[in-house]
A and B are shown apart, each in its own frame.
Chain A
């Protein structure tokens, strides 16, 4: 294992791959600091460009980006009081008051340093999980793998927010879109309406971009002028770093919380920061959280980067995407010829270990980049939406066309994009649709193989029953934890 890790380190340090990692870091920071853009939008923008890439290069690009989004999103949270992404909402509680007191640099110094430490702890957690997960996952056959896809699909309910029914319908819609094209069990085309384009099914990058990025560009244009312009930057980054060092146990505790929440598919981004913030408030003595306490920045920022390492465990090792971002990552693996699951721990172990290294390096370099370029980078978050959107649209159109080099890609992009926009304005959750789409093929395939090989006996398999129990526990546990984080979100801060 250690030998494989060292081998993976040399693969990651190859200059050609490092370039892609830095490109990913750069994009991740920009995506994070632009309010409105999220990890899912960033991932969907990148997805068409990883098609056919060397898996190490593609992963350097994607993981480099994912790793630092929660570092970049600190800028708008602290400077503008607007969350850059859903994972930086709690940072506003104390970061913005600190900025208004002229201590924005101190808050950002602490936030970047904690993001770095949290991200490294997340990478280590991913590495340490591999030896435990390997014997378990390699023993799985089609019934267990089918139940794992069901576990992934059950996330549709968890990611649905206030209305689980809407989430389930959205997930089923994704499954239906995923069943377009050739059937896995028999040579027959479905829902193609005699068009050649649809015989290969709808392209994942097109669906991902349409469902997440298209609605965002319309929303950014219609909500123009929402970005305020009031915080000023002074020196004090080192003071923030020292604050983080003084509160090293809080950093560690929050990072562990982040990793543990990352392990649970479906909770992720929008919850982790509030839970870490709430736990910080309960455990830190003499605090004045909510009124500009630096520890109120340290707790969520340590957790949200650490979460990424944790969330990669169910995604890479079990093929369970716990969020829109990891659902797209799962698709990215397929585009690069990889398959989440047992192979990631056997034949593709070096790719998994390269992801661990990329996660660690990207967090370190991303945080250092933000610290060094704090002034110029922060200016980008003041650029209004209508000046960014046209350039995003050009990138989206080029990206969408790369899937199959057909005008069908662009037509589907607009059609599903409009569906995504309507879902956005009517509060229908979109991540379940993507999860359903990504898992449609494996769900059908594993179900068919299970029935063909074992009849209905596979349902009595102990691991299948255990996974069914896990689904029930996760759904009920997730709902309880979401309620806990909501208490803080809705004025639980005293």
Chain B
């Protein structure tokens, strides 16, 4: 996707976010209101200024037929999918089981690691998590299976 257009979409998103924050801040009492209200107004105004200047720059760039930088979204989306998948696995089966499954799949499919190295790595990570958990009193995310 064109980087400039993506930047415009993101700036528009920020403008909407700040504007919604202003509307929400108006419902707070006076003492709770002043800080979020002022910063939201400042954010909204500055984002609008930025948005207008970017649209103007983009218009000028189009006239000059300048180079456009493309950003590939497919590869990042694939890896974001891996992260979300890992979290879903934790939610279903718990941290240890999910970590083992995630590492097996990722190391073999994405990292192209051989089975022996994958096995050793997973055992080392699971032992490391257990040691860390007992040493630093670490809590694991709750899960549906209660594991």
Contact = CB atoms under 8 A, between A and B. Distances in A.
Nearest to A384: B111
A222 B24 CA distance: 38
B103 A394 contact: yes
Interface residues of B, number: 55
B6 A169 contact: no
Interface in B126-147: 129, 132, 136, 138-142
Contacts of B72: 222
Nearest to A50: B136
Interface string B1-38: 00100110010001001100100110011011001100
Nearest to A180: B36
A190 B25 CA distance: 8
A391 B125 contact: yes
Q: Quick one: which of A168, A188, A218, A423 has the most chain B CB within 10 A?
A: A218
Contacts of A165: 46, 49-50
Contacts of B140: 398, 401
Given A222-B75, A393-B83, A394-B129, A186 B29 contact: yes
Contacts, number: 133
Contact residues of A: prevailing secondary structure: helix
Nearest to A49: B136
A422 B10 contact: yes
Contacts of A221: 75, 79, 110
Interface residues of A, number: 48
A58 B126 CA distance: 25
A386 interface: yes
Given A398-B95, A425-B71, A190 B80 contact: no
A425 B73 CA distance: 10
B86 A393 contact: yes
Contact of B32 (A173, A188, A398, A443): A188
Give 7 nearest A-B pairs by CB, closest first: A183-B32, A172-B43, A186-B31, A188-B32, A185-B31, A444-B35, A179-B36
Given A390-B111, A425-B71, 10 more contacts: A169-B43, A176-B40, A183-B35, A221-B110, A391-B103, A405-B139, A414-B84, A421-B80, A422-B6, A425-B6
